[in-house]
């Protein structure tokens, strides 16, 4: 058990931006929400699942929608407490804790703000240890855990709770609701016991995020050997340094989709193309896949090592492309069916990062 400090929060924001792999919404907005909630309601406690009643109910809470919309439609906050309250009412049981469904982007931080307001702890775990664009894309699906019953709420007080036969159907129902409710809403899904969280979730995700952010902050301060230390901690690799020479970005079907093309600094004959669906999904260098989902593709500003989100990409930006391996818990039967390249429509095999390391 640990009490979240403001220093932890700043490091978590930086780590969450990186683990968002370009998507997940800009954590800066969520950081403001958490700070305000901590001022209004008191500190937030981070706990291990084993510290809770194993039969106690744990609910997730997140923002669902397109990151490009979230930039302009700042969350009110009521949509997040609303979806938690709606699902708890439907289940007829109050939660003993909240948990992020993904540690990546602003969904790392949303549960902290809601927990402060509701007087609940947050579990140091998640189901992705990165951001993914669809509800079924988590290790809970691999464990056979249902995403539903689930709830979606907007800032105006509209709430919907539904059940679905599969997690893929749950994704379609939730996405249809979001498209009718303004493209940036609160969602609560994958309700389960604290005991099940201990068995099936990716443990220590929030602590990992804080430490990752702490080490990246050292890089930004220019500390000696900090970049190598950051890469070693994350088992990460620098794949490409280049400038953006082409950018296509659009919001369609409830997602932010697009393609970004980079030209290598100092070598215009080398290019990299990265495909986007909310997150950076797959990177091709000179037509060959070099980083593939579920491994992480992260853009760092070439000058200051600040992680860059897809909605802030711009022509002429100079970036370092970093690859991080996915959490070890992903490597189990069924992984590629739900988060491999073909799950996103790419006729490409998953190639573990180690194979492509330079």
Please, how many CA atoms are within 13 Å of residue 99, restricted to the half-sphere of its CB?
Answer: 33
- Closest by CA position to 220, among listed 17, 5, 82, 2: 17
Higher pLDDT, 253 or 327: 327
pLDDT band at residue 184 using 50, 70 and 90 as cut-offs:
confident
CA angle in degrees (0–180, nearest 5) for 120-124-128? 120
pTM, rounded to two decimals: 0.94
Instruction: Give the per-residue pLDDT at 29.
Output: 84
In the CATH hierarchy, which fold is given to the domain comprising 2-205? Answer: CV3147-like fold (3.40.1610)
pLDDT tens digits, one per residue of 93-110: 999 999 999 999 999 999
* DSSP output for 264-290: ETT-TT-EEEEEEESEEEEEEETTEEE
Higher pLDDT, 75 or 240: 240
Residue position matching structure tokens 């500390």: 223
Query: Three-class SS of residue 120?
Result: coil
Please report, to the nearest 10 degrees, the dihedral formed by the alpha carbons of residues 194, 141, 256, 216 taken in order: 50
Contact partners, residue 81, CB within 8 Å, separation at least 6: 114, 117, 118, 186
Distance from C-alpha of 13 to C-alpha of 217, rounded to nearest angstrom = 11
Q: Which CATH class is domain 236-356?
A: mainly beta
Asked if 98 and 120 touch (Cβ cutoff 8 Å), the reply is: yes
CA 283, chain centre distance (Å) = 18
R_g over Cα of the chain:
19
Q: Tell me where in the chain the CATH 2.40.390 domain(s) lie.
A: 236-356
Q: Tell me where in the chain the CATH 3.40.1610.10 domain(s) lie.
A: 2-205
pLDDT tens digits, one per residue of 30-84: 999 999 999 999 999 999 999 999 999 999 999 998 666 766 777 778 999 999 9
């Amino acid at each position: 058990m640990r009490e979240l400090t403001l220093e932890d929060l700043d490091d978590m924001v930086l780590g969450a931006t990186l683990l968002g792999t370009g998507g997940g919404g800009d954590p800066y907005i969520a950081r403001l929400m958490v700070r305000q909630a901590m001022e209004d309601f008191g500190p937030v406690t981070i706990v291990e699942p084993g510290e809770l009643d194993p039969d106690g109910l744990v609910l997730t809470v997140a923002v669902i929608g397109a990151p490009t919309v979230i930039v302009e439609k700042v969350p009110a906050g009521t949509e997040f407490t609303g979806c938690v309250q709606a699902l708890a009412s439907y289940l007829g049981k109050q939660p003993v804790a909240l948990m992020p469904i993904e540690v990546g982007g602003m969904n790392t931080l949303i549960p902290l703000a809601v927990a402060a307001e509701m007087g609940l702890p947050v579990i140091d775990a998640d189901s992705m240890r990165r951001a993914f664009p669809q509800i079924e894309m988590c290790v809970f699906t691999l464990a056979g855990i249902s995403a539903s019953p689930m709830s979606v709420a907007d800032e105006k007080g509209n709430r919907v709770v539904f059940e679905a036969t599969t997690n893929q159907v749950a994704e379609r129902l939730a996405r249809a609701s979001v498209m009718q409710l303004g493209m940036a809403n609160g969602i609560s899904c994958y309700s389960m016991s604290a005991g099940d969280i201990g068995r099936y979730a990716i443990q220590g995700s929030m602590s990992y995020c804080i430490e990752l952010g702490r080490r990246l902050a050292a890089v930004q301060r220019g500390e000696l050997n900090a970049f190598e230390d950051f890469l070693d901690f994350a088992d990460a690799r620098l794949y490409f340094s280049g400038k953006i020479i082409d950018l296509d970005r659009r919001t369609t079907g409830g997602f932010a989709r697009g393609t970004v093309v980079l030209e290598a600094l100092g070598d215009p004959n080398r290019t990299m193309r990265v495909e986007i669906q909310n997150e950076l999904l797959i990177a091709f260098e000179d037509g060959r896949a070099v980083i593939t989902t579920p491994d992480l593709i992260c853009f760092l500003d070439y000058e200051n090592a600040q992680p860059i989100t897809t909605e802030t990409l711009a022509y002429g930006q100079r970036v370092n492309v970093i690859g991080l391996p996915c959490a070890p818990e992903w490597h189990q039967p069924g992984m590629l069916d739900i988060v491999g390249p073909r799950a996103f429509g790419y006729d490409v095999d998953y190639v573990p990062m180690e194979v492509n390391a330079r």
